[in-house]
Amino acid sequence: MSAKINVGVAGCGYWGPNLIRNFAALPDCNLKAICDLNTDRLKHIQSLYPGVEAFTDYGKFLTDGQLDAVVVATSVGLHYRMGKAALEAGKHILVEKPLATSSEECLDLAQTAKKNGLILMAGHTFLYSPVVRRIKQIVDKGDIGDIRYISARRLNLGLFQKDINVAWDLAPHDLSIILYIMGELPQRVNCCGNSSVSPRVQDVTSMWLGFSRNRSAIVQSSWLDPRKTREMTIVGSRRMVVYDDTASLEKIRIFDARVDSPPHYDTFAEFHYAYHYGDVYIPYVKQEEPLRIECQHFLDCIKTGHRPISDGEQALQLVRILEASSKSLQLAGAPVDLPPADTKSHGSPAKATPNHPGNGAVTAKSAVAIPDAPVKRSRAKKSTSAPA
């Protein structure tokens, strides 16, 4: 392999151009080829990046593109076939989320990559976000105490998909963050939703994940909201973190707020909740595009042979959660148990299709180092206690 890695991007629609932009800007990457059925899109990309070869035939793209690595940014239903063909052609691959439409397909891709000694990576972009990694540091240091629950809302007006529902489209972002912060896989999943626009394709879903030690997470996804919302709240026993990805600068706010119940009481009249309201802290995090970090990580893993943070196993577990959510939707929101982590590669996943629609603990060490940073403090509030 030459000093620069020859990369080709398949899919030049909604997300592909962002991947093309980032790979083209990396010094150790040679953006060699692009592939799409839409010739107008290909011409537009070539006008921005002269010298890039364009293909409408994916087979010729793989054989004639002189590629070391392939990035797949097409509709979810094509991820498995295109990823499998690239691996069998000897190409390292980065596939956008979710990796495939079933856990069987994810497992097959992971096994094929391992057999051929190739890198398989899923596009779970938020695992490469400096903001998310800073939140993980805060949680692991015990600054917020024990996690009680996490609430995530990812809402927007569109973009409507035809082959997957909103949970499969939007929830992978939040699921990857939640599993990374929790550090373990959930034990059960509930999911309710509604198909308001397209029959049998849920455009609004609410997913509940049950973890050990009475911890939980709620993920709300919607294509039918007038405002773009990308918010996550992590409630701890000592403090609470609010992560607003739409904020331009202050994406993390730490609220010194909590509620405590008395350890001992004899009668209900003696029972009082104690409410604490303290300062609001705003940690400084250097702004850096997560997608650029993700693309660089893919190239680094190709060079070193190191396991990606969002590798095939991590992607497989996330898809198993999505499958469980699909089964729960079919069962009118009934809980679906997930197999324990030690049987995740051999257990029987829930059978469901993405249209009627899983789990990813991040164990690999990140190549992205985020140093401790000073904290900016906002106006303080007094601590108070109030009766129940």
Say if residue 51's pLDDT is above 90: yes
Residue 266 is predicted with a pLDDT of 63
Q: Over 90: is that where the pLDDT of 141 sits?
A: yes
Confidence of residue 87 (pLDDT cuts 50, 70, 90): very high
Residue 336 β-bridge partners: 189
Angstrom distance (rounded) from CA 61 to CA 9: 9
257 band by pLDDT with thresholds 50, 70 and 90? confident
| Residue 278: per-residue pLDDT | 76
Mean pLDDT of 257-274: 67
Res 344 pLDDT > 60: no
**54 confidence band (pLDDT: 50, 70, 90):** very high
pLDDT in tens, 243-254: 999 998 899 999
The pLDDT of residue 347 is 35
Phi-psi region of 133 (alpha: psi -120 to 50; beta: other; left: phi over 0): alpha
Q: Residue 270 — pLDDT band, cuts 50, 70, 90?
A: low
Query: pLDDT-based confidence at 273, cuts 50/70/90?
Result: confident
How much is the pLDDT for 260?
Answer: 74
pLDDT, residue 158, reads: 84
pLDDT at 379: 36
Q: What is the DSSP string of 258-313?
A: EEE--S--SSGGG---EEEEEEEEEE------HHHHHHHHHHHHHHH-PPPTTBHH
The C-alpha atoms of residue 140 and residue 147 are separated, in whole angstroms, by 10
Is the confidence at residue 213, as pLDDT, over 50?
Answer: yes
Kindly report the three-state secondary structure assignment for every residue of 300-349. Answer: HHHHHCCCCCCEHHHHHHHHHHHHHHHHHHHCCCCCEECCCHHHCCCCCC
Q: How far apart are CA 94 and CA 86, in angstroms?
A: 10
Rounded CA separation 376/388 (Å): 33
Q: What digits encode the pLDDT tens for the residues 92-130?
A: 999 999 999 999 999 999 999 999 999 999 999 999 999
- DSSP assignment string, 169-226: HHHHHHHHHHHHHH-S--SEEEEEEE-SSSTTS-SEEEEEEE-STT-EEEEEEESEEE
pLDDT band at residue 339 under the 50/70/90 scheme = confident
- Ordered structural domains, the chain, with CATH: 130-388 (3.30.360.10)
- Compute the Cα dihedral for 180, 184, 185, 188 and give only its sign: negative
Determine the 3-state secondary structure of 227 from DSSP: strand
The top-scoring range by mean pLDDT among 233-237, 364-368, 379-383 is 233-237
**Tokens, residue 305:** 């042979």
Indicate whether 352 pLDDT > 50: no
Query: Using CA atoms, how far apart are residues 381 and 214, in angstroms rounded to an integer?
Result: 30
Provide the pLDDT for residue 348: 35
